[in-house]
Structure 1
Amino acid sequence: MGQIICAGLGPGDPDLISVKADRAIRQARHVAYFRKPGRQGQARRIVDGMLAPAAAEYPMEYPVTTEIPFDSPDYNRLLADFYDDWADRLAALAATDDVVVLCEGDPFLYGSFMHLYVRLRDRVTVTVIPGIPGMVGCWNASGTPITWGDDVLTVVMGTLPEGEMLRHMQHSDALVVMKTGRNLPKVRRALTMAGRLDDAWLIERGTMPGQRILRLADVEAADCPYFAIVLVHGQGRRPVALAQVAE
């Protein structure tokens, strides 16, 4: 009997894949990855040139992405059926051989693989190889530490209601806003109300080709790709203590 190995690929730069994940990917005979219909898929792009010539590929194409609201019953039903179906397919493959599932970032940090994991963990052996989260690649690309001293870091979803988003922005030192995209106007409004827009940065395609780092205040609301994260760096809650450590 085989197992399912989920390889965390990191933020996008192939050089940031771990040695363990690299080894698993290159040795894989069965490789599955998520993608939008008709697209290569970000995970597949990252490992381009790494797969064995005879490796069988299994593109897992989402049935829906942004066509209907993510919180609608139809959206949840379609995705639940999608994950159920692919859990069955992967379990069948793992009955006789190992299967490597590719996942951008870290599989356990907002990764799509989590939905397969909860369906598979009691059926087959599942090994998860951690990856550098995308947000880590982005704040390193910014060239500025994201937190200092006792700063509290909050990760906020751009899909949250505006009022809830604002509350988190007002009560945290450092911020990461994920799932921006079409939510960028709402994110900008909340940051403005929190008095933090001038300190916010938009990191597009962090560590990937075409990387851009811009002040959010200078970005048009429509100019935001899917692979984008908003950062507000912490300033340090105890500058005196930090200075003493430095001395």
Structure 2
Amino acid sequence: MRGTDTSIGTIRGVGLGPGDADLMSVRAHRMLSGARHVAYFRKEGRAGRARGIVEGLLRPDAIEFAMEYPVTTEIALSDPGYNAALSAFYANCTAHLQGLAEAGEDVVVLCEGDPFFYGSFMHLYMRLKDVVPVQVVPAITGMSAAWTATGQPITWGDDVLSVLMATLPEADLSRHIEAADALVIMKIGRNIEKVRRALRNAGKYDAAWLVEYASMEGQSVLRLAEAEGRVTPYFSIVLVHGQGRRP
């Protein structure tokens, strides 16, 4: 973060929590309700989930900057074009936000969940933090809302919790699943069958839960084994609760 020059604006990555506006922090609400410039990520042609969370909370004259991903799932993560497209995208977004800050404007960047937990804002943060002032407002994560929705604690005593991406190779998923006491598996979507196989390989399939849209409209909580053949949305989390030491 650069100096204390009061003529420079501040970029604020504001965590909105898992999706329910009532779970937003007081600090986040205060910052976004007073923001003149508001930026957020979205898919092309979509309103944007982060923007939807704050509907009705922004000031009427807020200037919005929608950052539309050039790709999401259209090409494989391993395709060199994927990183190239996203790198150029983040560079363009950074330049726009930096320009606003250098003109003395503060900007709130809306972040689903927590900004530092698998969020797109991290890519802006790393490009901006040594150039203009940047602040981060933490928030409740989507996985916290998911395990709360099951009505069961996720960890007990000395349980080891692993957070996995369903985009991992199946062999890696199986290895991590087998080693952990409690599990959170994110980014499910089209990877659901791979996740099922990995859980079965590790002997934990029958203990797994599927939570869709945790804390959002349309929330669904059920045993993964009861969701055979179900098409799972991207905002799905698979959980296996720990069964560790307790008094």
TM-score by length of 1: 0.95
**Cross-structure match for 2:57:** 50
**Cross-structure match for 2:99:** 92
Deviation per residue, 1:65-98 (Å, 9 max, x gap): 0000012100000000000010000000111210
Any idea what SS the aligned residue of 1:110 has?
Answer: coil
**Cross-structure match for 1:145:** 153
For 1:77 and 1:149, locate their aligned partners in 2 and report how far apart those are by CA, in whole Å. 44
Any idea what SS the aligned residue of 2:58 has?
Answer: coil
Alignment partner for residue 134 of structure 1, among 124, 142, 146? 142
Any idea what SS the aligned residue of 1:175 has?
Answer: strand
Is the contact between residue 10 and residue 132 of structure 1 (CA under 8 Å) also seen in structure 2?
yes
Deviation per residue, 1:138-176 (Å, 9 max, x gap): 111111000000000000110000001100001100000
For 1:153 and 1:47, locate their aligned partners in 2 and report how far apart those are by CA, in whole Å. 31
For 1:11 and 1:142, locate their aligned partners in 2 and report how far apart those are by CA, in whole Å. 15
**Percent of paired sites with the same residue:** 60
**Cross-structure match for 2:74:** 67
**Cross-structure match for 1:110:** 118
Q: Is 2:222 the partner of 1:214?
A: yes
**Cross-structure match for 1:188:** 196
Long gaps (5+) in structure 1: none
For 1:140 and 1:157, locate their aligned partners in 2 and report how far apart those are by CA, in whole Å. 20
AA matched with 1:129: V
Alignment partner for residue 223 of structure 1, among 222, 226, 231? 231
**1:222 CA displacement:** 4.7
For 2:132 and 2:42, locate their aligned partners in 1 and report how far apart those are by CA, in whole Å. 24
For 2:60 and 2:140, locate their aligned partners in 1 and report how far apart those are by CA, in whole Å. 27
**Cross-structure match for 1:77:** 84
Is the contact between residue 184 and residue 221 of structure 1 (CA under 8 Å) also seen in structure 2?
no
**1:220 CA displacement:** 3.2
TM-score by length of 2: 0.95
CA RMSD of aligned residues (A): 0.8
Any idea what SS the aligned residue of 2:222 has?
Answer: strand
Any idea what SS the aligned residue of 2:209 has?
Answer: strand
**Cross-structure match for 1:175:** 183
Any idea what SS the aligned residue of 1:229 has?
Answer: strand
Alignment partner for residue 35 of structure 2, among 21, 28, 50? 28
Any idea what SS the aligned residue of 1:132 has?
Answer: coil
Is the contact between residue 182 and residue 222 of structure 1 (CA under 8 Å) also seen in structure 2?
no
Deviation per residue, 1:83-136 (Å, 9 max, x gap): 001000000011121000000000000000000000000110000000101101
**1:223 CA displacement:** 1.4
